[in-house]
C-alpha cells in the first residue's frame, strides 16, 4: 500500500503568532526586511538580496515589464511570465533593464488622425491623462504633439474631431534630448512650469516622458532593487521544454535571475534544465526551481544546483490542481517541513538555499507567518493582480471596479508547459480558473500599508529582522471557534458610506 503520512496538512489560517517581548528599540522604523534571493555559502553574502521579501508570480495576468519596474523600485522582484514567445519575453526584460528612474516609456499613444473619441477610450482603458501623439501611434514614433486633459472638454467637444486639431503641436513643445540627466530634466520642468517633459532623440522620435508629479516619487523609493550597474533587477520564468533557446535570449537581454515555472517541480526535467545552466554559464546565471512540498523534493532540487526552491502546490487562489488531481499539501505544513530540510542541508553542506513560499496567502498576517515558519520570501499572484501596474484590464462589474485574473493552467492562459509531465501528450484538462479580483489602486500605496503591518507584527514578536523573526516567533494552532472569535462578533456592525 501507499506510504501514509498521518500529519494533518495545514494552512496559514490555522495558526496565530503569540506576542513576544517588545523592547524599546524594537520599533517599525528599525525593522529590516532584507532577505536572500539566491543561495550562498556559510560566511558569505548572497549575490542578490531582496530589500522586501516579495516576488510577483510568473503569470500573464500579473508580471510584465510595468509590474517588474514598479516592484523593483520598491525593493522586490518580478518574474516576467514565460507563456509568450521567447522574443516577446526577452523584450520585456530588456525594457526593465533599460528603465531609468523618472524616465517613463509612453504606453498611451495615438496618431494625429485619431479622434477625441479614441483619446477618451484610451484614457478609460489605460488611465493616463497624458497621451503621446506620434506619426505611427507607437511609443517610439516621431513625436508630433501631446494631448493632456486640459486640451479638450468631453462634455462639449465633438468626439469625432481629429487630434491634430486640438493637440499641443511639437512646435509649441519644450523637449529634452535623449541622454539628459534626470536632474537637468527636472530643472527644465521647474524653470518652464511644465507638467510633462517629452524626451526625444536626434530624429525627433519619442523616447520617454518625465513628469513633474514623479519628482517626489524618485526620492520616495529608497528600497530600489538595483544591480551593480544601478539598473533594476528583474527575473523571468522558464519551462523545461524550450529552455535551450529561451535562456540564452533572456541572458542576452540582461535577466538577473531565472525561475523554472511548474506546478510540480520534483522532476528530472528540472534537474536537466539546471544542469544546462551550470554547464553553459556556471554560477553566474541564477536559477530557482520548484514547486515542491516536502523534504525529498527540496533536497532533489537543492542537490541539482537550484539557487532557490519554490514551495507550494495547489494553494493559489486560482489554482485547482488539488481539485483536479488530488495533488498538493497545505501551505503551512509544506513550508514547515521544507524549512527543516533546508536548515539540515545548510548544516551538512554549508550552502544556504532560500525558500520561496508560493500560494496560500489570504491576509497580510499570513505573510508574517510564512516568514516565521522559515520562508525567505513570498511569491504572490492575487495580491499584485489587483494593482494598476498589473497587465490586465480594469472593469466595472456589479458596480465595483475589478481587474481580470486568470491562472496559467486555465484555458485562457493555455500555459500547458507549466503542467508538462514529459512525453508527447499535451494537457487535456485545466488546473486554473479565469476570475476577477477587486481593484485596489497603485502598487506603492497598498504595499506601504502591507509592509507597515508586517513590521508592526514583527515588533510584537520581538524581532527587527526576518532572521530574528524565525528564531524568536512563537506560533500556535487555532481552533475553528477561535478563528471566529478573532473577527468582529456578537455586535451589529454599522454600515459605512463611501
Q: Which residues are catalytically annotated?
A: 319, 418
All residues at 6 or more sequence positions from 291 whose CB lies less than 8 Å from its CB, including other chains: 262, 263, 264, 265, 310, 311, 312, 313, 358
Count other Cβ atoms within 10 Å, centred on residue 400.
Answer: 10
Helix pair angle (295-304, 331-349), 10° resolution: 40
Cα(first)–Cα(last) distance of the chain, in Å? Answer: 58
* Residue of 306, 226, 303 whose CA lies nearest to 48: 226
The residue whose grid cell reads 462634455 is 155
E-assigned strand segments in 7-58: 15-18, 35-36, 40-41, 49-50, 54-56
3-state secondary structure of 456: helix
Residue 424 near residue 335, CB atoms below 8 Å: no
Count other Cβ atoms within 10 Å, centred on residue 138.
Answer: 14
3-state secondary structure of 259: strand
CA dihedral 424, 428, 433, 434 (to 10 degrees): 90
* Residue of 308, 247, 249, 311 whose CA lies nearest to 273: 247
Query: Cis ω on the peptide bond leading into residue 291 (within 30° of 0)?
Result: yes
Amino acid at each position: 500500500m501507499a506510504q501514509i503520512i498521518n500529519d494533518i496538512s495545514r494552512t496559514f489560517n490555522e495558526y496565530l503568532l503569540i506576542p513576544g517581548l517588545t523592547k524599546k528599540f524594537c520599533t517599525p522604523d528599525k525593522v529590516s526586511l532584507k532577505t536572500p534571493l539566491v543561495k550562498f555559502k556559510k560566511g558569505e553574502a548572497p549575490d542578490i538580496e531582496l530589500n522586501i521579501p516579495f516576488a510577483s508570480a510568473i503569470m500573464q495576468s500579473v508580471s510584465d515589464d510595468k509590474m517588474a519596474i514598479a516592484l523593483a523600485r520598491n525593493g522586490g522582484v518580478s518574474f516576467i511570465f514565460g507563456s509568450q514567445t521567447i522574443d516577446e519575453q526577452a523584450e520585456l526584460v530588456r525594457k526593465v533593464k533599460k528603465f531609468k528612474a523618472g524616465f517613463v516609456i509612453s504606453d498611451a499613444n495615438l496618431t494625429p488622425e485619431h479622434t477625441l473619441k479614441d483619446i477618451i477610450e484610451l484614457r478609460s482603458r489605460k488611465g493616463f491623462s497624458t497621451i503621446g501623439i506620434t506619426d505611427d501611434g507607437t511609443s517610439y514614433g516621431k513625436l508630433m504633439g501631446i494631448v493632456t486633459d486640459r486640451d479638450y472638454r468631453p462634455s462639449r467637444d465633438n468626439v469625432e474631431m481629429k487630434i491634430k486639431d486640438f493637440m499641443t503641436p511639437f512646435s509649441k513643445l519644450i523637449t529634452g534630448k535623449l541622454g539628459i540627466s534626470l536632474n537637468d530634466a527636472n530643472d527644465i520642468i521647474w524653470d518652464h512650469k511644465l507638467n510633462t517633459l517629452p524626451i526625444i532623440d536626434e530624429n525627433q522620435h519619442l523616447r520617454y516622458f518625465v513628469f513633474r508629479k514623479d519628482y517626489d516619487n524618485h526620492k520616495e523609493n529608497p528600497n530600489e532593487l538595483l544591480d551593480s550597474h544601478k539598473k533594476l533587477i528583474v527575473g523571468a520564468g522558464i519551462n523545461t521544454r524550450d529552455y535551450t533557446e529561451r535562456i540564452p535570449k533572456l541572458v542576452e537581454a540582461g535577466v538577473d535571475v531565472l525561475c523554472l515555472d511548474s506546478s510540480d517541480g520534483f522532476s528530472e526535467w528540472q534537474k536537466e534544465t539546471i544542469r544546462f545552466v551550470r554547464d553553459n554559464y556556471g554560477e553566474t546565471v541564477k536559477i530557482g526551481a520548484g514547486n515542491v512540498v516536502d523534504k525529498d523534493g527540496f533536497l532533489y532540487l537543492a542537490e541539482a544546483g537550484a539557487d532557490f526552491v519554490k514551495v507550494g502546490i495547489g494553494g493559489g487562489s486560482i489554482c485547482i490542481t488539488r481539485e483536479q488531481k488530488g495533488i498538493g499539501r497545505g501551505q503551512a505544513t509544506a513550508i514547515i517541513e521544507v524549512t527543516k530540510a533546508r536548515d539540515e542541508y545548510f548544516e551538512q553542506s554549508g550552502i544556504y538555499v532560500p525558500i520561496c513560499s508560493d500560494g496560500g496567502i489570504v491576509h497580510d498576517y499570513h505573510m508574517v507567518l510564512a516568514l516565521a515558519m522559515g520562508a525567505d520570501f513570498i511569491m504572490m499572484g492575487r495580491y499584485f493582480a489587483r494593482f494598476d501596474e498589473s497587465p490586465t484590464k480594469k472593469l466595472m462589474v456589479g458596480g465595483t471596479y475589478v481587474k481580470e485574473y486568470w491562472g496559467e493552467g486555465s484555458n485562457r492562459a493555455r500555459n500547458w508547459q507549466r503542467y508538462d509531465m514529459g512525453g508527447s501528450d499535451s494537457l487535456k484538462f485545466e488546473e486554473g480558473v479565469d476570475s476577477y479580483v477587486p481593484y485596489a489602486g497603485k502598487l506603492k500605496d497598498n504595499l506601504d500599508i502591507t509592509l507597515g503591518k508586517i513590521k508592526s507584527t514583527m515588533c510584537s514578536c520581538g524581532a527587527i529582522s526576518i532572521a530574528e523573526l524565525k528564531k524568536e516567533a512563537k506560533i500556535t494552532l487555532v481552533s475553528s471557534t477561535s478563528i471566529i472569535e478573532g473577527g468582529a462578533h456578537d455586535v451589529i456592525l454599522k454600515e459605512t458610506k463611501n
